[in-house]
């Protein structure tokens, strides 16, 4: 059975594990190098990106995770996970580390503070463009957005309306085209389509 790990240092770990289990894969927490080496893909959850970067060092996981990503390990990051996977981060601490797995520039807390959290329906390439598919309900909590996407990065979703219309909130790229990131938190809605999309990538059923 496909085994997908959720980086379990901080953030929405249980919610991602439950969503992955609903997609019929072996979902396991990852806190040690041995656990990382045993997975076919990894999810980096929402949380606080600067804390997460520090904990990667504390648990001696930064270098092993970076190496596996650069060797082609499929990855999905939500909210803070998007920030961690990015190549360039705006509005962050100078000592914060990132994994440089996606050629994107991300702005932290771009949509505002916790009190400015919101929900909206999105069109998501590869999910809502399938026959009979409904829009994807997306929850944004102190969310980043993608300020700039590199040439090899596919934009999967944008904010559809309002003052932030057109802002990029979901992307796919990486060296093997198997790294996905979203600004929003699909793990909290009960809609498992984003997780299934990532599972299909890990299993080689979703081609870029």
Active-site residue among 16, 98, 185, 195?
A: 185
The residue from 15, 16, 98, 187 that is catalytic is: 187
Per-residue pLDDT, 198: 98
Whether 185 is catalytic is yes
The count of other CB atoms within 10 Å of the CB of residue 118 is 15
> Going from the N-terminus, what domains does the chain have, and what CATH number goes with each?
3-202 (3.40.50.880)
Residue 16: active-site member: no
Q: Which residue among the candidates 79, 98, 119, 206 is catalytic per the annotation? A: 79
Q: How does pLDDT run along the chain (208 residues), one tens digit per residue?
A: 999 999 999 989 999 999 999 999 999 999 999 999 999 999 999 888 888 889 999 999 999 999 999 999 999 999 999 999 999 999 877 777 889 999 999 999 888 776 568 899 999 999 999 999 999 999 999 899 999 999 999 999 999 998 899 999 999 999 899 999 999 999 999 999 999 999 999 999 766 5
Whether 187 is catalytic? yes
Long-range pairs of 89-94 with CB within 8 A, sequence gap ≥ 24: 89/49, 90/147, 92/49, 92/50, 93/50
């Amino acid at each position: 059975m496909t085994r997908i790990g959720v980086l379990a240092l901080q953030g929405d770990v249980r919610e991602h594990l439950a969503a992955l289990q609903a997609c019929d894969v072996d979902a396991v927490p990852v806190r040690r190098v041995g656990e990382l080496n045993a997975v076919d893909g990894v999810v980096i959850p929402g949380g606080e990106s600067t804390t997460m970067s520090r904990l990667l060092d504390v648990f001696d996981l930064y270098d092993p995770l970076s190496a596996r990503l650069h060797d082609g390990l499929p990855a999905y990051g939500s909210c803070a996970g998007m920030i961690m996977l990015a190549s360039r981060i705006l509005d962050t601490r100078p000592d914060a580390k990132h994994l440089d797995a996606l050629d994107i520039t991300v702005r932290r807390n771009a949509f505002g503070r916790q009190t400015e959290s919101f929900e909206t329906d999105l069109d998501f390439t590869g999910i809502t463009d399938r026959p009979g598919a409904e829009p994807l309900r997306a929850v944004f909590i102190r969310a980043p957005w993608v300020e700039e996407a590199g040439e090899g990065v596919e934009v999967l979703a944008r904010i559809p309306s309002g003052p932030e219309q057109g802002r990029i909130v979901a992307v796919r790229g990486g060296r093997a085209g198997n790294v996905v990131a979203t600004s929003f938190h699909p793990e909290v809605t009960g809609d498992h389509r984003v997780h299934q999309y990532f599972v299909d990538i890990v299993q080689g059923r979703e081609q870029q």
